[in-house]
Chains A and B, each alone.
Chain A
Amino acid sequence: MRTHFSASPWWYIPLVTSFALGTLSCSTKEDKKDGAVLPDEDNAELKLPDGFGALKVADSIGTARHLVVNKNGDVLVKLNRPKDGKGIVILSDKDQDGRADSQTGFGDYGGTGITLKGNYLYASSNTSVFRYTLNADELPENTNVPDTIVHGLIDRRQHNSKSIVLDENENIYVNIGAYSNACQERDRTKDSPGMYPCTILDSAGGIWKFKANAMKQSYGEGTRYATGLRNVVGLDWNKQDNSLYVMQHGRDNLHDLFPELYDTEASAELPAETLYKVKEGDDAGWPYVYYDQKQGKKILSPEYGGDGKKEAEEGKGKDAIDPLVAFPAHMAPNDLLFYTGSMFPEKYKNGAFVAFHGSWNRAPEEQEGFMVAFVPFQAGKPSGEWEVFANGFAGTGPVMSPGDAKHRPCGLAQGPDGSLYVSDDANGTIYRIIYSGK
């Protein structure tokens, strides 16, 4: 197993340099070549590595969750709550300057998941997955009558987003998050014991696999592909090694529930947010264990007899898989994307971008995250330390409460030219990050 975690003060490693725009800042249309996309003068207030620039494709479109870009460069964004009755926004850019000049929408449901595969667009509500046939312009048709691929999935508010991705064999993978923090008999309640076995895992806390081309499936028609995953929002299918990768949101409230074992600082820094490669039948160990990135071990949850040091036990996470990468706690990884484009420098090819939504469970410590990270990969394995790729979404100055963050990264998509798109569900901004350095 490899973990990639730097010792304190890991957060402040100066991995990113501000990109001074300099000579690229001539964004008037008279100056630019036809079809050239230029970054905003201030790079949309983002901090990026040298040679990269950013622009705002659109602003204030609503609670923008996951997004996709079709072959023509139209951006389709799933909204958590419909805006003006439309839960999916289509942003088009007729004059090809990178900034959307037309916005339409469809779909009267909120949700998170959206993906393109073959001749179809797939999108999810918090209980169902729908499918739309694409027309010749790569846009969905008959948007009022989508096919219902999956329905009846559990939604008890907590961790209810249903992220989706397809493999190369007509299967669709759907995250069903656990409606619980740590599978206590009474959720997040001090002195309430952990349920054993955790019955939540029968219908949630894992990834379910369904046929992408069959109608009206529910639990009975699907299979539990992987379990012991508390909540996954970001997931991607890696075509290089034909495998599913997921980002788990680690548990909360260690100090609130066990103040005698964890002080506020330990609670702010534990447990890791974890990247897993999952094979069919894998168990990542929730709720019995969590991953402690400092000890580099799976630690028995205090609800199940743990004391912060005891390791996984038989029947309680002993056979759980280990993460490929352990990120700092509570940063809320909301999307994962393996980059296959050719626009970015070679080091980014086939590596993983992770959009972190930013923390809330670090209070009273400063909140962290609100950035896009990058993990280099070679041959299906991380080949170096993770690093901050894009930062500055939250604005300047420390964020003590997530409500203070101006923007919160939530979704990632790759454009046909290799641009990286990032959505923000706090202010509804869609960013496009391009590479123009030589």
Chain B
Amino acid sequence: MSVTTGEDGTKPGERKQESTSYPEGEKIYRQYCATCHQANGSGVPNLNPPLHKTDYVTGDKTRLIAIVLNGSDSGLEVNGQTYANVMPPHGFLDDRQVAQVLSYIRTSFGNTAGPVAKEEVRAVRDSK
């Protein structure tokens, strides 16, 4: 008898770690974002959008910050696809945390956009 999928029951998760300039952002990402958007930022087909190769992440920072703070339930189209699940609001993160996690996302998963400053997060929060 062979084992079903070849695994031996050992703990998974020995995945390759990308080095990041935003370790705090990575930690926040793993805690609050990775379940839905996945550790590699690929999202989940039909359910949760990817965070790579999309203008929503690498483009306008104000729009991106607002989605994190306020959430989104409008079925945004990302690269021609819509996604079923809501993005819950993450306004409970402070300005620095939001800036860190967005800087991490914008420079990870193959993204090469610029970082986000906590002042930029504050400006979006104040404009509500």
Binding site for B on A (CB under 8 A): 9, 11-18, 47, 80, 157-160, 186-191, 252-253, 255-256, 259, 267, 360-361, 363-366, 371, 388, 391-392, 396-398, 400-404, 426
A403 and B44 form a contact (CB under 8 A): yes
B4 and A391 form a contact (CB under 8 A): yes
B1 and A189 form a contact (CB under 8 A): no
Identify which of A12, A157, A158, A363 contacts B9 (C-beta below 8 A): A12
A188 and B4 form a contact (CB under 8 A): no
Alpha-carbon gap, A190 to B92, bound state (A): 9
Smallest CB separation, A139 vs chain B (Å): 29
Identify which of B4, B12, B82 contacts A14 (C-beta below 8 A): B4
B88 and A426 form a contact (CB under 8 A): no
Closest to A12 in B: B9
Chain B interface, number of residues (Cβ within 8 angstroms): 40
Alpha-carbon gap, A188 to B15, bound state (A): 27
Identify which of A16, A47, A159, A366 contacts B84 (C-beta below 8 A): A159
A363 and B4 form a contact (CB under 8 A): no
Q: Is B39 an interface residue (CB 8 A)?
A: yes
Identify which of A17, A157, A402 contacts B45 (C-beta below 8 A): A402
Contact with A along B1-19 (1 / 0, CB 8 A): 1111111110011010000
Q: Is B78 an interface residue (CB 8 A)?
A: no
Identify which of A47, A361, A403 contacts B4 (C-beta below 8 A): A47
A403 and B43 form a contact (CB under 8 A): yes
Chain B residues within 8 Å of A190, by CB:
88, 92
Closest to A9 in B: B9
B38 and A360 form a contact (CB under 8 A): yes
A403 and B42 form a contact (CB under 8 A): yes
Alpha-carbon gap, A183 to B12, bound state (A): 32
Alpha-carbon gap, A18 to B15, bound state (A): 27
B1 and A17 form a contact (CB under 8 A): yes
Alpha-carbon gap, A363 to B15, bound state (A): 12
Q: Is B89 an interface residue (CB 8 A)?
A: yes
Given A9-B9, A159-B84, A187-B86: A402 in contact with B39 (beta carbons within 8 A): no
A365 and B46 form a contact (CB under 8 A): no
**Which of A13, A388, A403 counts the most chain B CB atoms within 10 A?**
A403
B35 and A256 form a contact (CB under 8 A): yes
Interface residue SS majority, chain B: loop
Chain A residues within 8 Å of B47, by CB:
360
Smallest CB separation, B9 vs chain A (Å): 4
A365 and B84 form a contact (CB under 8 A): no
B12 and A365 form a contact (CB under 8 A): yes
Alpha-carbon gap, A14 to B8, bound state (A): 10
**Which of B3, B30, B50 counts the most chain A CB atoms within 10 A?**
B3
A187 and B45 form a contact (CB under 8 A): no
A366 and B12 form a contact (CB under 8 A): yes
Interface residue SS majority, chain A: loop
| Total A-B pairs, Cβ < 8 A | 107
Q: Is B34 an interface residue (CB 8 A)?
A: yes
Identify which of B8, B42, B46 contacts A12 (C-beta below 8 A): B8
Q: What are some 28 contacts across the A-B interface (CB < 8 A)?
A: A11-B4, A11-B9, A12-B3, A12-B4, A15-B4, A157-B82, A157-B83, A158-B84, A160-B84, A187-B88, A190-B88, A191-B92, A252-B35, A256-B32, A360-B38, A363-B35, A365-B12, A366-B7, A366-B12, A371-B4, A391-B5, A397-B6, A398-B12, A400-B13, A400-B15, A402-B38, A402-B45, A403-B44
Identify which of B8, B39, B71 contacts A364 (C-beta below 8 A): B39
Residues 63-107 of B at the A interface (beta carbon under 8 Å):
71, 73, 75, 82-86, 88-89, 92
B12 and A401 form a contact (CB under 8 A): no
Alpha-carbon gap, A186 to B70, bound state (A): 12
Chain A residues within 8 Å of B44, by CB:
360, 401-403
Smallest CB separation, B92 vs chain A (Å): 7
Chain B residues within 8 Å of A426, by CB:
45
Alpha-carbon gap, A404 to B1, bound state (A): 27
Chain B residues within 8 Å of A18, by CB:
2
Closest to B40 in A: A401
- Report, nearest first, the 10 A-B pairs whose CB atoms are least far apart: A366-B12, A189-B88, A401-B38, A360-B44, A403-B42, A9-B9, A157-B84, A14-B1, A188-B88, A158-B84
Alpha-carbon gap, A343 to B88, bound state (A): 49
Chain A residues within 8 Å of B5, by CB:
12, 47, 391-392
Residues 14-69 of B at the A interface (beta carbon under 8 Å):
15, 30-32, 34-36, 38-40, 42-48, 50
Given A12-B3, A15-B4: A363 in contact with B39 (beta carbons within 8 A): yes
B45 and A158 form a contact (CB under 8 A): no
Alpha-carbon gap, A159 to B85, bound state (A): 9
Chain B residues within 8 Å of A12, by CB:
3-5, 7-9
Alpha-carbon gap, A366 to B10, bound state (A): 11
